[in-house]
Amino acid sequence: MTRNVIVTGGSGGIGLETAKALAAAGDAVILTGRDPNKLQDAVATVNAGATGPRSEGLPLDMGDFEAVRAFADDIGNRLPAIDVLVLNAGLYTRKLHTLPNGYEAMIGVMHLGHFLLANRLLERLLAAPAPRVILTSSVAHKTGRIDFESFTDPRRHRIGFSGYAQAKLANLIFARELARRYGDRGLTANAFHPGAVATGIWRELPQPIPWLADKLMITPAQGADTAIWLATADEARGINGEYLVNRRIAKSSARSRDPELARRLWTESEHMSGLT
């Protein structure tokens, strides 16, 4: 049976490699990305190896909540069910700034935008026989902490990495809370650390770091391996609300397992994303 798959941040890096693998396995894949030209090239690459329906690229800026709502409404009208949702879109910015909607860019794109999208698509996810939600987190979450004031005041982060670690921690907390709330309805939600991957996400860092990243880090295809496994493997169906590294459940930070923090993050995210 052909599955319906959505991959955010699918125009390059881990997202593109994930989309390629799932399309090659016969899934119908919708890729999103901010740059229409890069997205068009990515779709051509994905379709070159597809064994099922042709994949499609839809431009989407995860930091634009109105665009996220419109995208979710469009997908909801077109697809009766969504089998796999890969929440992968990301960025790293050392020049901390806010989006036009007033939220710090990294938490806005990587957490709030994905929180809004997943919840707006929730009805379609729960309509699938075995829906899977996969979030790209990071080992950086272990140094992160949730500072709700920083969501609208980037100055509370002394360095850009602090904002990045916070967003990746939020990804993991969100995955666990999704699993807790909807696991009894068949949904699985997990987060994974892809490893130190050479992608364009590090281009804002000063040289020689981007150059070294290309030379020393693993490839996007290697980084996407756990995401692909979570999306396809039968044995992954029994894993829910976990943090994975190299296809294995790994220990995460105490903050990522705090139920009170998870509940508050959910409530605050509902308000900040405009879900409620």
243 in active site: no
Instruction: Give residue 77's Cα distance to chain centre.
Output: 22
Report helix angle 160-182 to 259-273, nearest 10.
100
d(CA 179, CA 189): 5
Options 92, 103, 164, 243, the catalytic residue: 164
Of 53, 61, 56, 63, the C-alpha closest to 24 is 53
Residue in the block written with tokens 């860092």: 205
Instruction: Give residue 235's Cα distance to chain centre.
Output: 21
Residue in the block written with tokens 């590294």: 245
* Side-chain half-sphere CA neighbours of 96 within 13 A: 20
Residue in the block written with tokens 């698509």: 121
d(CA 52, CA 172): 31
Q: Point out the residues that are catalytic.
A: 164
